[in-house]
Amino acid sequence: MSKNIKNIVKSAVRLKDDSGAVAMEFALIMPVLIAFYFGGVSMYDAMRASHQTATVAVTLADLSTRVIDMNDDKRDALFNSGRALMSKWPSETDYSISVTSIINPTEANNGDPDVLRAVSWSEATDESAKLTDADLPRFDLPTIAEGDSLVIIEVKGTYRPQHSILGTQGNFDISRSSVRRPRFVSEVHYISDDD
């Protein structure tokens, strides 16, 4: 019996010594596990925001190409729809939405073959997000037949995850666009309330 008691005492002492090692391992590994957890949450958040941005671009492009003409009220309704779809972003100031009509102005340029696309009009939630002719090369635009047009919706912004362990370096710049031809007319004209 005394042999069994000695074995039990040795096991208890060894267990007590191991518990200190386990506590030390826990203290070393736990910060790494927490960093992985919050990093994973931030990455998931960014992927969700990117998917949401692409969905908004496609949805607004579909809506904007169904109208015969665009005016200030339709533009505001379009942007309000985009804001509602972007509701999971932390702040409206973190993104912008633009809608732009692109035309083939060959007649206006005396048939110059180098000028196949030009911005007819552009509206945006932020003035700096409006597109110009200089912005067109960054889009992969199809050829526009003479007298036809395209509508481009661009949604871009900086996503700031709520649980970023990297601070401002954890921010993600996201830009998604969708290009569609108008459905019912050759060009969606903008009729300003000032006209």
Q: What is the pTM of this model?
A: 0.75
Mean pLDDT of 159-179: 74
Judged against a pLDDT cut of 70, whether residue 1 lies above it is answered with no
The candidate with the shortest Cα–Cα distance to 104, out of 120, 90, 83, 91, is 120
Judged against a pLDDT cut of 80, whether residue 109 lies above it is answered with no
pLDDT at 37: 83
Q: Are strands 69-71 and 172-180 parallel, antiparallel or unpaired?
A: unpaired
- Top-confidence residue, 105 or 92: 105
Mean pLDDT of 186-190: 91
pLDDT tens figures, 128-157? 899 998 898 888 888 888 888 999 999 998
Q: Are strands 189-191 and 69-71 parallel, antiparallel or unpaired?
A: parallel
pLDDT tens figures, 79-89? 999 989 988 77
Mean pLDDT of 39-56: 85
The residue type found at 6 is K
Share of the chain above pLDDT 70, in %: 77
Grade residue 99 by pLDDT with cuts at 50, 70 and 90: very high
Q: Residue 179 to residues 40, 53, 90, 140, 142: CA-CA distances in angstroms?
A: 32, 14, 27, 9, 9
pLDDT at 169: 60
Grade residue 77 by pLDDT with cuts at 50, 70 and 90: very high
